[in-house]
Structure 1
Amino acid sequence: MYTNKPLEPPSEFIVKVQDINDNPPEFLHGPYYARVPEMSNVGTSVMQVTATDADDPTYGNSARLVYSILQGQPYFSVEPQTGIIRTALPNMDREARQEYDVVIQAKDMGGHMGGLSGTTEVKITLTDVNDNPPKFPQSVYSMSVSEDKVEGEEVGRLKAKDPDMGDNGLVNYRLTDGDGLGMFVLSTDSETREAIIKLKKRVDFETKRSYTLKVEGYNVHVDPQYLAWGPYKDEATIKISVEDADEPPVFVAPSYTFEVEENAPAGTQVGRVHAKDTDIDNNPVRYMIPRYTDVEQFFSVNSEDGMITTTRPLDRETQAWHNISVSATEIGHHQDTKVRVNIKVKDRNDNAPEFATNNEVLMCENVMIETVSAVDKDEMAHRQHFTFSLAPEVAHNHNFSLKDNRDSTASIYVLRQGFSRLTQDVYFLPVEINDNGVPAMSSTSTLTVRVCSCDSKDTILSCNVEPYVLPAGLSTGALIAILACIVILLVIVVLFVALRRQKKEPLIVFEEEDIRENIITYDDEGGGEEDTEAFDIATLQNPDGANGFHPRKDMKPELQFPLRPGGHPAANSVDVDDFIKTRVAEADSDPTAPPYDSIQIYGYEGRGSLAGSLSSLESVTTESDLDYDYLHSWGPRFKKLADLYGTKDCSVHDGDDDDDC
Structure 2
Amino acid sequence: PRAHAALRRQKRDWVIPPIKVPENERGPFPKKLVQIKSNRDRDTKIFYSITGQGADAPPEGIFTIEKESGWMKVTQPLDREHIDKYHVGPYLGTLGDVGVLCQALHSCPTPQLFSHAVSENGKPVEEPMEIIVTVTDQNDNKPQFTQEVFRGSVPEGALPGTSIMQVTATDADDAVETYNGVIAYSILSQEPREPHPQMFTVNRATGTLSVIASGLDRERVREYTLTVQAADLDGEGLTTTALAVIEIADVNDNAPEFDPKMVMWAPLLGVTLWCPLGRGADGTPRPQYEAAVPENVAGREVARLAVTDLDEPGTPAWRAIYSILRGNDGGAFAITTDPATNEGILRTAKGLDYEAKQQFVLHVVVANEVPFVVKLPMATATVTVTVEDVNEAPVFVPPVQQATVLEDVPPGQTLAACTAQDPDKAQSQRIKYLVGHDPAGWLAVHPENGLVTARDHLDRESPFVKNSTYMAMLLAVDDGSPPATGTGTLLLTLLDVNDNGPEAEPRDITVCQRSPQPQLLTVTDRDLPPNTGPFRAELTHGSGDSWAVEVGDTGDTVTLQLVAPLEPDTYSVYLRLLDQPGRAQVTIVTARVCACEGLAQGCPQRSQPVTALPFVLATLGALLALLLILLLLLLFMRRRKVTKEPLLLPEDDTRDNIFYYGEEGGGEEDQ
Q: Establish whether TM, by shorter chain, passes 0.5.
A: no
- Name the TM-score class by shorter chain: 0.3 to 0.5
Which has the larger strand fraction?
A: 2
TM-score, with structure 2 as normaliser: 0.42
